[in-house]
């Protein structure tokens, strides 16, 4: 099952806001539809955002609108995942925008499978692997980065148990990662985010593998809560790996200069449709945090496992 499909000059995206209850597609007929899908997180996860953005530029090109302007608008849809900027720049530099987007679509799947093979080498038979957010097939075109490593370990015949952090406020771990693992009968348990440290202290976690929105000098930006998982992992000596394709690397900036997206208060004030705090409560809602390089055992890429920058 692919997170997105290109059919009849339209981009179909699995609507991730509706999972796990409904598996439906959101149709993008214009580049503005793609922008809306990225902003509202119909499509999310760094590699998926990148490939969707590339198709967004292709939609603008097919419609004969100002492609430079469309590309700039698409780039302003979310700030932290560098794949968005990488993908738009790449298709803009190509002679045939749609062909380039279709190439990127296929490359994403191949890259994740290669990354999975490298990553599976650090996962032992019988391991319990904890992951945060969703760096799975849904965050890419298919297979996933962190969940791709888990899939590859299972395909290699290893018996793996997965623990998914719930990932407040939007529940990508609970809604998406658990769902993906269940589709393939990979044993999975869900925990609240604050239980991760306790389980590590109890010796119940052997490895941690997460994804990344950006890898840069000094560390990695990933979903809010990743830093606390990494700090606990260091304290309890649990190897903490990041799985990320080379397209997630930013060699221009320090990780501390990357814009961390702040999202709306309603995400924190509500749990699903239910308000959980007084109406006028002030909120901070950073969507990502930064894991410093010294907390990371290795970065699993399609070129092998490397040291953090």
Which sequence positions are flagged as catalytic?
213
Q: Which residue of 14, 88, 101, 135 would you call a contact of ligand MRU, by CB under 6 A?
A: 135
Sole window of 39-47, 103-111, 198-206, 227-235 interacting with ligand MRU (rule: CB under 6 A): 39-47
| 131 neighbors 174 (Cβ within 8 angstroms) | no
**Residue 112 CB, nearest approach to ligand MRU (Å):** 8
Angle between helices 97-120 and 146-155 (to 10 degrees): 60
Helix (H) or strand (E) holding 104: helix 97-120
Q: Does 287 participate in binding ligand MRU (rule CB under 6 A)? A: yes
Tell me whether residue 98 or residue 291 sits nearer to ligand MRU (CB atom): 291
Tell me how far CA of residue 15 lies from CA of 27, 54, 56, 193, 263, in angstroms: 9, 18, 16, 24, 19
Q: Does 180 participate in binding ligand MRU (rule CB under 6 A)? A: no
Tell me how far CA of residue 98 lies from CA of 77, 101, 283, in angstroms: 20, 5, 41
Tell me whether residue 26 or residue 97 sits nearer to ligand MRU (CB atom): 26
Q: Does 45 participate in binding ligand MRU (rule CB under 6 A)? A: yes
**Residue 45 CB, nearest approach to ligand MRU (Å):** 4
| 45 neighbors 30 (Cβ within 8 angstroms) | no
Q: What is the 3-state secondary structure of 174-223?
A: HHHHHHHHHHCCCCEEEECHHHHHHHHHCCCCCEEEECCCEEEECEEEEE
Site string for ligand MRU, 210-249 (x = CB under 6 A): -xxx--------xx--------------------------
Sole window of 45-53, 84-92, 93-101, 177-185 interacting with ligand MRU (rule: CB under 6 A): 45-53
First to last CA, the chain: 34
Q: Does 44 participate in binding ligand MRU (rule CB under 6 A)? A: yes
**Residue 75 CB, nearest approach to ligand MRU (Å):** 16
Distance from the Cα of residue 109 to its chain's centroid: 14
In angstroms, the CA 119 to CA 101 distance is 26
Q: Which of residues 155-174 bind ligand MRU (CB under 6 A)?
A: 172
Q: Which residue of 6, 47, 142, 230 would you call a contact of ligand MRU, by CB under 6 A?
A: 47
Apex CA 205: angle with CA 194 and CA 212, to 5°?
Answer: 70
Tell me whether residue 186 or residue 212 sits nearer to ligand MRU (CB atom): 212
List residues near ligand MRU by CB under 6 A: 44-47, 81, 133, 135, 139-140, 145, 172, 211-213, 222-223, 287
């Amino acid at each position: 099952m692919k997170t997105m499909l290109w059919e009849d000059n339209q981009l179909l995206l699995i609507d991730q806001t509706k999972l796990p209850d409904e598996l439906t597609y959101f149709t993008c007929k214009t580049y503005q539809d793609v922008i809306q899908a990225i902003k509202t997180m119909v499509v999310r996860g760094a590699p998926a955002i990148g490939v969707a953005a590339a198709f967004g530029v292709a939609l603008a090109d097919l419609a004969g609108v100002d492609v430079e302007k469309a590309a700039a608008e698409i780039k302003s849809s979310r700030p932290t995942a560098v794949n968005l900027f990488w993908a738009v720049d790449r298709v803009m530099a190509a002679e045939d925008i749609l062909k380039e987007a279709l190439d990127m679509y296929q490359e994403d799947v191949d890259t994740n499978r290669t990354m999975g093979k490298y990553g599976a080498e650090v996962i032992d038979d019988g391991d319990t692997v904890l992951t945060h957010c969703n760096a799975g097939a849904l965050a890419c075109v298919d297979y996933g980065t962190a969940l791709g490593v888990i899939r590859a370990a299972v395909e290699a015949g290893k018996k793996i148990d997965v623990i998914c952090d719930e990932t407040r406020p939007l529940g990508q771990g609970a809604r998406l990662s658990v769902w993906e693992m269940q589709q393939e009968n990979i044993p999975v348990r869900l925990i609240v985010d604050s239980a991760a440290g306790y389980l590590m202290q109890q010796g119940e976690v052997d490895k941690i593998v997460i994804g990344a929105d950006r890898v840069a000098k000094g560390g990695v930006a990933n979903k809010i809560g990743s830093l606390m998982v990494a700090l606990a992992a260091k304290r309890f000596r649990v190897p903490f790996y990041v799985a990320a394709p080379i397209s997630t690397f930013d060699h221009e900036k320090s990780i501390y200069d990357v814009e961390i997206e702040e999202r709306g208060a309603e995400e924190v004030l509500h749990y699903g449709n239910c308000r959980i705090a007084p109406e006028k409560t002030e909120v901070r809602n950073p969507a990502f945090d930064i894991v410093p390089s010294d907390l990371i055992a290795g970065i699993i890429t399609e070129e092998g496992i490397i040291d953090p920058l």
